[in-house]
Structure 1
């Protein structure tokens, strides 16, 4: 009888379910999309190594006055770390600038890195085609370049092999000797939108030696054996650099050390909090859906007062009437919840396919969806069902 009553008012039943569909669909899709993005970001960071410390250059100061763009972090610092820090497995210095790269009539703005030979090991990024530059090319400031896939796609058509071609970086001609493997995006940053040239070449031709103590660099990557050794590596780095830069406590360091593992942990925490917040906001629509169900059920009780009176006159108990209307409420809510879960999964799949992150359906969100839809049906249907079950049959039969 409950199903027949709902089917006879299909449009009203569908509109009643809409609030639950939107609420459950939002919770499922947002939770699953959040987990997919979190997983994608985590994989991207881990692919570059979470056992890596990044030393960032600060500014030189003289009697508390900043000396402009002159930095005190140098390639010689990196070489000293490689020799003196026992826990440092790989050490790589780098320079970084945005520059225009041109091939024929095509050009693109990208990030150009001046690196040493250890960069592929330090960043866990190796050439997929061709090769990286050699020690001889580094020492001689050779005009060679290794480009990443996004730069390749922007400069060369698919049928052209970039290896051996000549490109211009800030007007200087470079021979392309390799194509780096794809690493994807890390948050908003495209790791594949980059070009790599020897550190000595970049220092001499693009920037100039602007350090007080040697070849200026923007930063140094230091790779430990694993994440558990990073604190030991950090301690050694701080001591070596403070000695080389004549920094005594309580003076401030002219460098910063960033832990990739800490970045990953912080990012996961922030994404988790954002997902929870948005899910909580989406859950408000469930409240609206519950109110809609309660409202429609109250209207239904009023419309069917004579039916209730006839049933009670023929012997229907209060419990039977209560069960009928409560069942209608729960069926509406569960049907809406099922459609909402399906909708949430579809939205998640489409989003994962379009934006290329892992397709993950949160099982906890699915179970929570069923539980919430059942709870909404129970809560929203209790008062209307109780009102129906307590109607006086004589009064009910007299109603118009």
Structure 2
């Protein structure tokens, strides 16, 4: 008899009440889990990885989405952009880029004839090599009119933009983006008034634009602005069939309702000017910045949901891990369960005990996972320079998921433990 008693496993104190208080259940669960630290830690690992992945990926996705939205909105969501398409020779459609289908005269006609348009700006865009002293860089040159700063929300931080007189006289003046300034002048503060060379032509620097940052692969600070007349006459040449060629036309309205009307009006004006009649295809295309923002938001949102769903597989794996460990625990603690029942523990008390252990594992693992996910998202936001966004809903969802995993994974093992026959359990080795 004494030898049999020596084999009785050490178990937590069992209260004499038939209904065990919640605090006592949690205390026993923590004591049992703490006595098996390695097993408990490995069991939590699946939940930690799953919750951390869900929170981090959701945060990074929302941060990237916010960053791109800010960059597009910085260009103005109340802006239409008209771009040149493929020209036609008779009824034959030529290749894109073979010649320019938009002219400065088109932009002036839109400004005069479209009542829903508040502002129109034409621009000509080319890549060119720029040289200053011993430094040189390849950058984007924009030949613009005076409305471009308002159309693109791009204003000088130092110096000024060129004026009407300089535009009319094709003055060789230039406004640099911050990236071009750093590349050519380094940390020098003496930039305004310096002479740079663009494709062999000398231009005087009269301003530096405020920083705008990158928009996808394009650095909006790696640009130079010069008068449209100077660029058309000196750097590009007048390659339009009639008038001054332009790469695009920016159209701004005060609100989205007027913008829709403006798009309709601009389309009809350009079709009449270019003599395009159905079923002929337009030799221009119009993009709406607001539509771009909406489309991008939807795409990123769907992509984030897809990746979060994939990360959720880790939670399923974590739940399976909890269920496996708890099932093993039931087998290992069969004798302990028999002793508990022998001294008066009810089936409900045993069920609650094992459920509590599974829930404690999932909640603690979920808490660590949430903290890890927030930390990963914060580090990623600082490294890749996008806004740090943590959704309260994602944190609540993470906590709810971890609790649900514990409940679901613990039900079958707890039920098996509660249904053990005490006599059979006491006889087990």
Q: Give the structure 2 partner of residue 39 of structure 1.
A: 66
Report 1:100-249 matches (<5 A). Answer: 100-249=129-278
Paired positions, count: 400
What is the CA–CA distance in structure 1 between the aligned matches of 2:135 and 2:252, rounded to whole Å?
37
Distance 1:253 1:80 in 2: 17
Aligned-residue CA RMSD (Å)? 1.3
Choose which of 58, 73, 93 in structure 1 pairs with 2:85. 58
Indicate the SS of the match to 2:166.
helix
CA distance in 2, matches of 1:125, 1:63: 40
Given the two structures, how large is their TM-score scaled by the length of structure 2? 0.91
**Compared with structure 1, are the counterparts of its residues 67 and 384 closer, same or farther at alpha carbon in structure 2 (3 Å cutoff)?**
closer
Provide structure 1 residue ranges, at least 5 long, that are not aligned to the other structure. Answer: none
Q: Deviations over 1:242-298 (max 9, x none)?
A: 111111122111111111111111011111111111100110000000001111111
Shift of 1:10: 0.9
Asked whether 1:2 is paired with 2:65, we answer no
2:342 aligns with 313
Instruction: Give, in angstroms, the shift of residue 47 of structure 1.
Output: 1.7
- Mapped partners of 1:82, 1:16: distance in 2: 68
Aligned match for 1:286, one of 315, 321, 324: 315
The separation in 2 between residues aligned to 1:200 and 1:364, in whole angstroms, is 54
Counterpart position of 1:20: 47
Q: Is the 8 A contact 2:103 2:240 kept in 1?
A: yes
Higher mean displacement: 165-174 or 45-54 = 165-174
Aligned-partner SS, 1:319: helix
**Counterpart in 2 of 1:303?**
332
Give the whole-Å Cα distance in 1 for the aligned partners of 2:190 and 2:294. 40
Contact between 1:51 and 1:260, CA under 8 Å: does it hold in 2? Answer: yes
Aligned-residue offset at 1:67: 4.6
Other-structure match for 2:17: none
Q: 5 Å matches for 1:262-281? A: 262-281=291-310
Map 1:82-97; keep pairs closer than 5 Å.
Answer: 82-97=111-126
Larger Rg: 2
| Alpha-carbon distance in 1 for matches of 2:250, 2:347 | 75
Q: Deviations over 1:91-126 (max 9, x none)?
A: 111111122222222222221111111100111111
Q: CA deviation at 1:135?
A: 1.4
Of stretches 375-384 and 239-248 in structure 1, the one that deviates more from structure 2 is 239-248
TM-score relative to the length of structure 1: 0.97
Whether the aligned pair in 2 keeps the contact of 1:318 and 1:389 (CA below 8 Å) is: yes
5+ residue gaps in structure 2?
Answer: 1-27
Give per-residue Cα distances to partners, 1:149-168, cap 9 Å, x unaligned: 12122222223332111222
Aligned residues of 2:117 and 2:258 also touching (Cα < 8 A): no
Asked if 1:352 corresponds to 2:384, the answer is no
SS in 1 for 2:102: coil
Task: Report the Cα distance in structure 1 between the residues aligned to 2:183 and 2:199, rounded to whole angstroms.
Answer: 17
**Alpha carbons 1:72, 1:213 under 8 Å: kept:** no
- Matches of 1:44 and 1:100 in 2, distance apart? 26
* Residues 374 and 390 in structure 2, CA contact (< 8 A), matched pair in contact too: yes
